[in-house]
Structure 1
Amino acid sequence: MSKEKSNHKSRLVFLLFLLFVMIMGACSISDKENSKKEEGQESQKLDWQKKVKSTAASKKTKSEKADEVSLLASSYQPSEEELHAFEEDIIEEFSKDRYLSDINNHEYMLTNMFKCRVIDNFYDDQEQQPMDKFAYDFFQNTNYTYRGSMKVESGEIKRNEDKMNKSLSEMENE
């Protein structure tokens, strides 16, 4: 009987050791996956910036450039940090009254369009969150003035800016 107990103990120790090895292996794989995910996000970030820069430098029309950047933004998956940075960036550009100051700077305008499209795509329109509304109006103004379909001082642009200010107030009161 003591041999049987010893055998059970040996099996138990072996099984515990095997379980430990499996858990450690899973942790190692998880760390590698996280590292690859972080590398992928950094690569994706550099990739969108290169694509926007390349689009800005291309010989395409402003409308074709804006459409290309909107398409790129529609499939982009930002990290939480990056989304927050995009939100801060467009709020700052609007608050400092810079966002429509140089509508012929292709890279600047397309970068802003990309950021606000990513934000707008991230939020669920059903919830009508202030950041979502702000990004949408920011995009409309940036898009229309960049393409030349509206003047910076037009009534529609000013009405959208009023809505953007209202959205900013709602965000401050949250």
Structure 2
Amino acid sequence: MKKFFSYSALALMMFSPLALASVSLSQPKSTEFDKTIITEAEHHGLSRIELDKSQTFTVLNNGKVLGTLIQGKGWVREVQPVCFVGWSKDGKKIDQFMPTIGQGDWETVGCHKVESVGLISKKDDENAKLAVIYTIEASDHYGNDYYVVGFNKSNDIFYDESTTEKFQNSYLKTIADLRKVYQK
């Protein structure tokens, strides 16, 4: 009975969408999502949209494509710079769109640019976590801020508020620094 349970648990872990054993990032092979992400950003009230292709990545789990995490920036009323994250499961249509720095909890600062994107979870963590480090514009200085996303059972992304809050006011500068703190 014990052996059956062990095999069953192992099989369940191997086939669970949350068992993200070997998540990696790569540059997208296609940018068919360009027009749809710009349309989605405009639908959210942004203009002068710029995509950051150097910080846009296809997310793979054991070599299988989960989707593409798209980074971009636009302007609200030509005065407020807002960064956003888009998620495309098929590399063509946009499944999710999330304004990040410059709106909501971050509306008092502007988004200057995306510094880096990377995995912060351990290789064998049940749920993969991706962090985005932004350079933000305050009234008289520049600084850094963070936005962490995770994956649910349907391979949708979600804003991980509690992990993001742990990094606030931490002055961490790199994905490696975030990873070290997150994995403690």
TM-score after normalising by structure 1: 0.29
The structure with the largest alpha-carbon Rg is: 1
Higher fraction of helix: 1
Higher fraction of strand: 2
TM-score after normalising by structure 2: 0.28
